[in-house]
Amino acid sequence: MGWFFIRGYAILVYLFMFLPVAVVVLLSFNASQFGSFPMTGFSFRWFVELAQNDAILRAFRTSVVLGLLTAVISTTLGVLASLALVRYRVPGANVVSTLLIAPILVPEVVLAVALLLFLNVLGINKSFALLLFGHVIFTLPFVILVVQARLVSIRRDVEEAAMSLGASPMQTFFQITLPLMLPAVLAGGLFAFTISFDDITGTLFWKPGGVETVPTQIFAMLRNSISPEINALGTVMIVMTVGLPLLGAALARQLSRKGG
Amino acid sequence: MSSVTLRNVVKRFHKFTAVHETNLEIPEGAFVTLLGPSGCGKTTNLRMIAGLLDPTEGEILIGGRRVNDVPIHKRNLGIVFQNYALFPHKTVAENVAFGLRYRDVPKADVAARVQAALDLVQLPDVGERYPKALSGGQQQRIALARAIVIEPDVLLLDEPLSALDANLREDMRVELKRIQDKIGVTTVFVTHDQSEALAMSDRIVVMSAGRIEQTGSPEEVYNNPASEFVAQFLGASNMLEARCTGTDAGGATLEAEPFGQVAVPAEKAQRLGGPGAAQLVLRAEKLLVMPAAEMPEGMITAPARIETVDYQGQTVRYFLRLGERQLQAINMIDERPFEQGAEVRVGFRPKDASALPMETA
Ligand SMILES: Nc1ncnc2c1ncn2[C@@H]1O[C@H](COP(=O)(O)OP(=O)(O)OP(=O)(O)O)[C@@H](O)[C@H]1O
Ligand SMILES: [Mg+2]
């Protein structure tokens, strides 16, 4: 009896969360002018219009470039930081670790405002580089958490064995450590990309005038009207931010099946 | 192949001294075992030889060359770890070939040398597999093949058999010794298992609390322990309080209750300074438990009562009560062991006894 209620309640919660998403996806294929029910037919016309909308295409390009750069920089820094924290006894490792993870715990608005104020004090203007910087700070903790967890599970004696056989510390890293933590590195990079691609709060604060990412573009379009194009764009976003991690997970599983 | 020398080596972790001033000479081609209880500093010594730890003081020489400042990857050592430490993302053949890529081995020779190493460890057909498709014993053989294929100057093994189950461990022990004999590489073996040490080593270095207690051949450390610690650690020994009443060229005379006078041969009494307080060391395996009537000639005997019988199949361990004292005896079983509470005689040959000065600490 109790179970029945719990199950029913859970289903309601999921409906509440996912129904709007489903509606957006459904309506993006609606042939009608208006982004609402009833649907009048199935069509790809909003996707086609999307592909012809310069502002959206520009925003899309910005988001992809920003996401890729964020992923590359965050992953590189994250791997280096994890190595330092896990493999070498850096003085104050605990403090550094907490500081690096902190951006997850601080509300994003606070972080966004803080960075902006800080740069104002320094007299630095908003720029794409600043936006990138903000995204890196914001995604770095996720990369570190994922990579660190993996690195801890890589036995030190495997690396020691490689060195005893003649590999320098650098060769050991590229021959042994990196391949063994590759799934985590890829996962971290994907995380960073999707988080960056999705982000709106920080981006609104940090972006220089005239630059729009996909989320800020949607935000701007919403102020005018709820056009069916937005539904189509939403669907694309969902496919990217849900599909990419799933793809990544499948890839990682494939990789670790080969290795161990 | 090279000798290894530790000269006044000390290792401290912060304030804790893991290895006290240690001097050790490992001759070229020898199989030397570091033996001691957990935490006595065996691994620390091995890791300093390997270059995985820096000694706090002193110097380490390999082949007569000081290597304190030579990093591990330039020392040309083969190391076998307790948990195999194979590279999980490489095939067995790639694992074994790993060390060759950092040496000037022509591509054409690599495959042949890998195959020769796999043959040597009697796993010629597993080259294409990944390590996790091998059993523990097989993985340890591959780890050994990977370490010796580079023709190391020194082979270092840190408890390589302890992750294996008992039967496999015995097989691997024989196997390891066979391979070491065949390639003749200087080998430093770390274990806390005395039977492993006795069976495999040319020399045993018995350690306790960061210090070397005794260095010698297996027979020496077994039959003529240098300290109470060594006597107790290598099998069970009975330590009897005694008085030395005189020494001469033939040996020392000890007075030990309840056996009376015991003439200990000279080579087993050389650590005695002279008359005074001493300890008589009687190995449990050298104490014979018999009915009074059957005790052979020439034994030094005393009456005893059997308190506990610990049956072990081929052998039996008796805990014997002799007045105040309790002694342990391990005997082969002839027909059936004595019952608990039986009144017997316990005896030993004087040449099986050894003598130590009374320890002051
Ligand atoms: N990195 C370290 N920091 C602090 N203390 C250490 C460190 N490594 C070892 N020790 C200490 O040094 C002592 C010797 O350790 P070591 O690992 O050499 O022992 P061991 O003889 O190999 O023991 P076991 O048989 O358990 O492997 C131990 O008391 C250990 O706690
Ligand atoms: Mg150890």
Q: Does residue A10 sit in the same domain as residue A80?
A: no
**Cα A235 from chain centroid (whole Å):** 17
- Amino acid identity at B133: A
| pTM for the predicted model, two decimal places | 0.81
* Contact (CB<8Å) A165/B102: yes
- Model confidence at A167: pLDDT above 70: yes
Instruction: Give a yes or no: residue A100 inside a domain.
Output: yes
Same domain, A14 and A32: yes
Count of domains forming chain A: 2
The answer to whether residues A16 and A57 belong to one domain is: no
Token pair belonging to A180: 């063994």
Average the pLDDT over each of A100-104, A253-257, B66-70, B260-264 and give the range with the smallest value.
A253-257
Mean pLDDT (chain A, rounded): 85
* Minimal CA separation from A257 to chain B, in Å: 9
Strand-by-strand arrangement of the B251-256 sheet: B260-265, B251-256, B237-248, B276-283, B354-357
CA distance B118 to chain A (A): 17
Do residues A15 and A126 both lie within one domain? no
What residue ranges of chain B have pLDDT lower than 70? 1, 360-361
B18 CA to centre of ligand 1 in angstroms: 7
Cβ atoms B255, B243 nearer than 8 A: yes
What's the distance, CA A101 to chain centroid? 16
Cβ burial B156-192 (10 Å sphere, 16+ → b, else e): bbbbbbebbeeebbeebbebbbebbeeeebbbbbbbb
Contact criterion met (CB < 8 Å) for B73 and A160: no
* Nearest residue, CB atoms, A260 vs list B73, B130, B150: B130
Residue A260 confidence (pLDDT):
46
Whether residues A112 and A227 share a domain: the answer is yes
Whether A36 and A150 map to the same domain: the answer is no
| Range B236-357 has CATH code 2.40.50.140 | yes
The phi, psi pair for B343, rounded to 5°, reads: -95, 125
- Does the interface predicted TM-score (ipTM) exceed 0.85? no
Helices (H), chain A: 2-27, 45-52, 54-87, 93-105, 108-122, 128-153, 156-164, 169-172, 178-198, 201-206, 214-224, 228-258
Please name the residue whose Cα sits nearest to atom 24 of ligand 1: B38
In this structure, the answer to whether residues A93 and A158 fall within a common structural domain is yes
Long-range contacts of B21-28, Cβ-Cβ distance < 8 Å, separation of 24 or more: B21/B57, B21/B58, B22/B58, B22/B211, B22/B212, B23/B212, B24/B205, B24/B212, B24/B215, B26/B186, B26/B188, B26/B203, B27/B3, B27/B186, B28/B1, B28/B2, B28/B3, B28/B186
In a domain, A48, yes or no: no
Which is the closest atom of ligand 1 to the Cα of B45? Answer: 18
Nearest to A100, CA basis, from A136, A69, A68: A136
Asked whether residue A112 is assigned to any structural domain, the reply reads: yes
B131–chain A Cβ distance below 8 A for any pair: yes
Q: Could you tell me if B145 lies within 8 Å of chain A, comparing CB atoms?
A: no
The verdict on a CB contact (< 8 Å) between A157 and B85 is yes
| CATH at residue A116 | 1.10.3720.10
Q: What percent of chain A has pLDDT over 90?
A: 27
What does DSSP assign to residue A127?
A: -
| pLDDT at A36 exceeding the cut of 70 | no
Contacts of A168 in chain B (CB under 8 A): 71, 73
Show the CA angle centred on residue B92, arms to residues B86 and B97, nearest 5°: 90
B193: closest CA of chain A, how far (Å): 22
Task: Compute, in angstroms, the gap from residue B211 CA to the centroid of ligand 2.
Answer: 15
Bridge partners of residue B13, in order along the sequence: B16
Least confidently predicted of A4-8, A47-51, B61-65, B306-310? A47-51
- CB-based contact B280:B231 (threshold 8 Å): no
Residue-number span of the structural domain to which A33 is assigned: 1-43
Cβ neighbours of residue B158 closer than 8 Å, sequence gap 6 or more: B42, B43, B46, B79, B80, B81, B82, B190
pLDDT at A258 over 80: no
Q: In Å, how far from its chain's centre is CA A64? A: 11
Index of the ligand 1 atom closest to the CA of residue B207: 21
Q: Are residues A30 and A88 in the same domain?
A: no
Domain boundaries, chain B: 4-223, 236-357
pLDDT in tens, B304-361: 888 988 888 888 899 998 888 888 989 888 778 888 888 888 889 888 888 888 876 5
CATH topology assigned to domain B4-223: Rossmann fold (3.40.50)
- Name which residue sits closest to atom 5 of ligand 1, judged by CA: B13
What pLDDT is stored for residue A257 in this prediction?
65
User: What's the distance, CA B186 to chain centroid?
Assistant: 16
Say yes or no: A239 and A175 in one domain. Answer: yes
Q: Which residue has the higher pLDDT, B55 or A119?
A: B55
Is A29 domain-assigned? yes
pLDDT for A89 equals 73
**A17 and A125 in a common domain:** no
Q: Specify whether A150 is located in the same domain as A38.
A: no
Bigger pLDDT: B273 vs A189: A189
Residue A175 forms part of a structural domain: yes
A82/A14 same-domain check: no
Summarised one tens digit per residue, pLDDT across range B7-34 is 999 999 988 999 999 999 999 999 999 9
pLDDT at residue B210, as a whole number: 92
